[in-house]
Amino acid sequence: MSWIERCYQTYENNITEVGVPSVNCLGRELPVLLPVGHTSQKVHVEISLTKEGKFLFARILRTDEMTTIIPCTEESSARTSGPVPHPLVDKLQYIAGDYGKYGGSKKMMWAEYLKQLRDWCNSPYGLPQVRAVLFYLEKGCLIEDLIEDGILFIGSDGKLVKKWTGAKEETPLIFQTITGGDQTEAFVRFNVDGKALSNDTMVWNSFIQYYLSILKREGFCYVQGRKMLLSQLSPYKIRNPGDRAKLISSNDGTNFTYRGRFNDAEEALSIGYETTQKAHSALRWLIGRQGISIGDQTILVWGMADEQVPSVTEDTYGLVKDMEEDDPYLDGPEDISEFDKPIADTRAAFALRFNNAIQGYREKLTDYSQITVMILDSATPGRMSIRYYRELSGSRLMDAVEDWHRNFAWEQCYRKEQKEKKGKSVSESIVFFGAPAPKDIAEATYGVNVDSKLKQHTIERLLPCITEQRPFPRDLIRTLMYRAANGIAMEPWEAKKTRGIACALVRGYYHRNKKEDFSMALDENCHDRSYLFGRILACADQLERTYNYYFSGDVHRPTNALRMETIFTQRPAKTTDRLRKKLEPYLERLLKNNKSIYSNDLMLKLLDRIPIKEFNNDPLSELYLLGYASQRAEFFKKPNIDRSIDANNE
């Protein structure tokens, strides 16, 4: 149960953040680190009372005001369809004594709610402001007051209208506020003597002390290693407010729940009430602030002292950008306008920014930083599992992340960003030199329409490669190679993205799994058969591109080399002969018009470098991708006509 201990310690380290609201850079409200014995709830109506418990007025809350910290018991925090009242803030069926009178269709729980509230108020921890709420609710006229104040609406039968049927433009605010438009489902909170009870730390502490005083079950907490009040039920709402899946649950005592190892849940796990409350609250808080969700899967990386940690699900461009946004003076330029420039102008410029970003993270993460990496997923709506869990030092994580982004790197062209130009928002392509994101790797390997479960499984397999420097899966390399070779079947942008990602992963695979290093530049000294055949394919492709540039009206027409690439990887010798024959007419015309045939001359030299015994039809390895891509990049760099040809065929 290390994750509980880590989350509990994170809560303790960030105790000053309890109850403090916050928003992200986009203005979206983030989860609050909750006090013990509390949960968060979307509330629709606020009632203002005097300190004597008299009704003053009510109002419907704005969307940004709805999320409210409310006291809860173990049973109410875990309620689904069962009628269990919250101690203070709740639905009309619990707090309104006239709920039945006005047509409430659900089981009325007013008496149970009042008993619970009275017990709190009559305890040594009761507060005057909470008693004011009790005095008011005991009158049993809450719905009547809300109707008179124009908050709720009744029909001709004197019952609450469950759905607005009038003109759309006349729809009352309460029907717009509540999901489904049923006003009987409204949650109500209270303001006493001008102060909202939901933000009152005295009220929080009062309920915590009261609730701890009535808990009776005591035992040995497996996490903290000491005797304390024990938990019976663990919270949900872990990944989002609508999440019903639990990480700890033992509410089914039949069949094979304990697999013959235990008689009851207590023998399997005993956890303190305070421990589980703080751990779950910290986990919920962390996920809301820095968790990455992909369907039902959530990836979370955090430091126990709230250190800034690099995202393990971002590509290199995103990693650099995140760090620079957090620390805009990272490079130390005197002119801040320098940061308005694209961060991927050249390979050298981007490498400098990457080095600075890594150094920035390393300054924040040391050998003493405790970092946790976690993947959560749920197979069913009610049960959640931890699919991956690792505890690392900050320096070890940074070593792994840096190794990933340096060695699984290639030129990537798939990113786009919105830029303002002449008062208009335009989409601009971003080129960077680095590692792709796990999500993009999954889409490149299996297609952009990859099944969500397969994508999640692939990301789960990739995460240890990023965080622990584990060997890269061989099957992903082969699958990606076959898909990159079939670029003719994809849209041009997808084929380009797939090939760039494939080259990055092949390069990293050979570095990590085979201890062989390949640079992003063309390696003239590489004699690997597949690498040379990849260069030959690039030459054939370039020769036809040259012809199309000078003599064809369609410069974007797919070349024979690209159309035959798949079969080329399976039977390279035979396919090379076929390609040579198809290129003869193009070569003839280029020679006749004194145009460049540099690519053809290079192809002949490369063919001579392949030993006769290796010029056969054995399938190529994935290294052909590096040979092809490096040779294509070299053509683009040549200071002759080939550069303009490439530019016009991109």
- Render pLDDT for 256-296 as a digit per residue (tens, 0 to 9): 566 667 777 777 788 999 999 999 999 999 999 889 998 88
Report residue 627 as tokens. 């040979």
**What is the DSSP annotation of 345-402?**
SSHHHHHHHHHHHHHHHHHH--TT-EEEEEEEEEEETTEEEEEEEEEEEHHHHHHHHH
pLDDT per residue as tens digits for the range 356-409: 999 998 888 888 889 999 999 987 788 889 999 999 999 999 999 999 999 999
The overall average pLDDT reported for the chain is 89
**Is the model's pLDDT at 471 over the cut of 50?**
yes
Residue 340 — pLDDT band, cuts 50, 70, 90? very low
Residue 433's nearest CA partner among 352, 312, 551 is: 352
Q: Given this model, what pLDDT does residue 1 score?
A: 58
Q: How many CA atoms lie within 13 A of 382 on its CB side?
A: 7
User: What CA–CA distance (Å, rounded) separates 40 from 89?
Assistant: 10
Alpha helix (H) residue ranges in 172-312: 173-177, 201-214, 265-268, 273-290
Question: Between 383 and 597, where is the model more confident?
Answer: 597
Percent share of the chain, pLDDT over 70: 92
pLDDT per residue as tens digits for the range 620-634: 999 999 999 999 999
Q: How many CA atoms lie within 13 A of 249 on its CB side?
A: 15
